[in-house]
Amino acid sequence: MKWTNLFRRKIRLLSAVPEAAVRNRFYPVATTQGEMMGVFAKEGWVFFKNRCPHAGGTFSEALGSENELVCSLHRFRYSLKDGKGAPGQGDFLRIYQLVGIDELVEKGA
């Protein structure tokens, strides 16, 4: 079964992202929904709240790999492509992509 997100949220980016960003480094950004983290990853800019949906831990300063985030508290893993948790976790993280210069749109498969 293919998972589809029917409720894509749009958020405005209030702070600029660096033009010469270091790949796989986390950058704090301000949005209309509060503080978020941005990372310039393999797929381009990806944004997320810095709280793990499992137990509220923060994500470490590095990615688990080119395409996933790892929670520093319990090592839960989330895909940067669509936010799905690793098999068996049963949760997800809202992931946003940059559209234009200041709009974030929720990603989904």
Residue 68: what pLDDT?
A: 86
The CATH T-level fold of domain 10-106 is: Rieske Iron-sulfur Protein (2.102.10)
Q: What would you report as the CA-atom Rg of the chain, rounded to the nearest whole angstrom?
A: 13
How many residues comprise the chain?
109
Q: Name the residue ranges covered by the structural domains of the chain.
A: 10-106
10-58 per-position pLDDT tens digit: 789 998 888 888 888 888 899 998 889 998 887 789 999 888 888 887 7
Q: Answer yes or no: are the C-beta atoms of 59 and 20 closer than 8 Å.
A: no
Tens of pLDDT, residue by residue over 78-98, are: 888 888 999 998 889 899 998
